[in-house]
Amino acid sequence: MGMSTSGIYSIRGNSGNVYKTYCDMTSELNSAWTLVLSYSYQNASRFSKSLEDDSPVSVDNPNWHHYRMSKTEMENLKTLSTHWRITCSFPKVGVDYVDYLRASFMEFNPLSFNSNHGKCMNVEIINIKNNKCMNCTAYFKQSIKTLHHFKNGCYYGKNAAQTQGNHDYFGNYESPDSSFRCTSGPEETTNMWFGGYV
């Protein structure tokens, strides 16, 4: 991108259309990230649809509390990205790698992932309430409802079971955990980004 300041940028899509989005250039060393989805916990019910669906919200007004890119814009951005991540309450805390998830698109593409019963997927890092695992598998589910992690099998679920309980993390939130940053209060936000390292 050639920029080093975080903020609102205009991006030109494959079809020539120009749209605004928030770009983070500073939270992780030698990386750039574009916000594709963000919502506050009190708005979570509006963001329950699968990432396979085209369900844009406030596309002309990127913001932290109710925003989702169109599927076309996400797919376009994916072609320019190597990784995706989910942060909690980014406007307040930035990236401290607590309540944080990151994966490679080569290993795990959330835009085409569909598993009604859940599946073990490779992630580079998953951290829930300071229970961290790097380069391991974690259990995810996405069908009609949006992508989310929950306790079950896989390497991470087995090793963090004593602290997780039966809750939803990084999306869906039908069974929220009040001690998880994204769902610890009505104004706390869940933020999904596409990007990579340079």
Q: How many domains are there within the chain? A: 1
**Chain position carrying tokens 């007004």:** 61
Pairing of strands 66-68, 168-169: unpaired
Q: How confident is the model at residue 1 (pLDDT cuts 50, 70, 90)?
A: very low
- Give the residue among 123, 146, 189, 170 at the shortest CA–CA distance from 52: 146
For residue 54, is it within any domain? yes
pLDDT, tens digit (0-9, with 9 covering 90-100), for 68-122: 999 999 999 999 999 999 999 999 999 999 999 999 999 999 999 999 888 999 9
Spatial separation of the C-alpha atoms in residues 46 and 190, rounded to whole Å: 13
Query: Does residue 1 lie within any of the structural domains?
Result: no
Residue 83 counted as domain residue: yes
Q: Is residue 164 part of a domain?
A: yes
Q: How many CB atoms lie within 10 A of CB 15?
A: 8
pLDDT 10s digits, 142-167: 998 999 998 767 877 666 654 566 89
Query: Is 144 a domain residue?
Result: yes
Structural domain includes residue 97: yes
In a domain? residue 2: no
**Confidence at 198, pLDDT banded by 50, 70, 90:** confident
DSSP string, 111-138: TT--EEEEEEEEEEEEEETTEEEEEEEE
pLDDT tens digits, one per residue of 19-44? 889 999 999 999 999 999 999 999 99
Q: What share of the chain is helix, strand, coil (3-state, %, to 5)?
A: 15, 40, 45
Residue 132 resides in a domain: yes
Domain residues for the domain of 95 are 7-197
